[in-house]
Amino acid sequence: MFKKVVLFCFLAVFSVLSYGQSNFSQGQELFMGNNPAQAVVFLERALGEDPANALVYLYLGVVYEQLGRMDEAIAVYRRILPTAGNLSANVANNLGNVYFRRGDNTEAESFYTQAVNFDGNMSVAFLGRANTRIQAGNLLNAITDYERYLMLEPLSSQRGNIEQLINMIRSEIAAEEMRRVIAVEEERRLAEERQKLLDAVAASLQSAAEAGQTISVGSENIELYDWEIEPE
């Protein structure tokens, strides 16, 4: 009997504590505990209670991402972005991440750019945009973003990899430029050789024409010859 009373009291206290928690705080705790499947229920309720709270949108968008519900994540982020205030950079960066994972480099770069415009010190947005630009073949601008990221995060655990990638990209660019120069030079050389051959052929035809000149009169040709008149 005593055990039942203690259990009842415990449940009663737990219920009061749970009731006292807002849907957002419960959703936040579940999110922090890596339980997105349960967190999403409370965060959706919280959104219904406070549809202007940018932080709720941000948490809910991340939970949707974790659950693979990318369309809903995009919808949530886009809905709050115009009024996200000091969270605008975070929301834009998260949109960039979603589009990058989808392989939509154009949209990803656009939102990463918005993020760094909102907050010029958001290192992860520079890193995300650099990765996007690599995928799109925009190598020079990718290097600029990587260098900006390393400036903001000098102790990054990825520093070695990023510096190696930068050097590799520069080597590729240099090699491509060398190939371009060689191609231009080869094209110029071929053009010169072609012109020499054309000039030689033209000169040959001119010589042949001068050696056998004829004047056409009616249906006959009068050939011009060189001869000497001997005195009688």
- Write the pLDDT tens digit of every residue in 7-38: 333 333 333 334 447 999 999 999 999 999 99
- Partnered with residue 217 across adjacent β-strands are 220
Which of the 8 DSSP states describes residue 216?
Answer: E
**For 29-87, what is each residue's pLDDT tens digit?**
999 999 999 999 999 999 999 999 999 999 999 999 999 999 999 999 999 999 999 99
The pLDDT score that the predictor gives to residue 9 is: 36
Which residues in the chain belong to E strands, given as ranges?
214-217, 220-223
Residue of higher predicted confidence among 171 and 12: 171
**Rounded distance between C-alpha atoms, residue 185 and residue 198, angstroms:** 20
**Rounded distance between C-alpha atoms, residue 42 and residue 48, angstroms:** 10
Tell me the average pLDDT across 95-123.
Answer: 97
Kindly state the helix (H) or strand (E) to which residue 207 belongs, with its residue range. helix 159-211
Backbone angles phi, psi at 53, to 5 degrees: -85, 105
Q: Judge whether residue 118 has pLDDT over 70.
A: yes
- Among 7-21, 100-114, 190-204, whose mean pLDDT is lowest? 7-21
Residue the block writes with tokens 């968008």: 61
> How distant, in Å, are the alpha carbons of 4, 97, 129, 130 from that of 142?
65, 16, 7, 4
Contact 116, 85 (CB under 8 A): no
Q: Per residue in 219-230, is it b (16+ CB within 10 Å) or e — as a string?
A: eeeeeeeeeeee
**For 121-168, what is each residue's pLDDT tens digit?**
999 999 999 999 999 999 999 999 999 999 999 999 999 999 999 999
Residue of higher predicted confidence among 206 and 176: 176
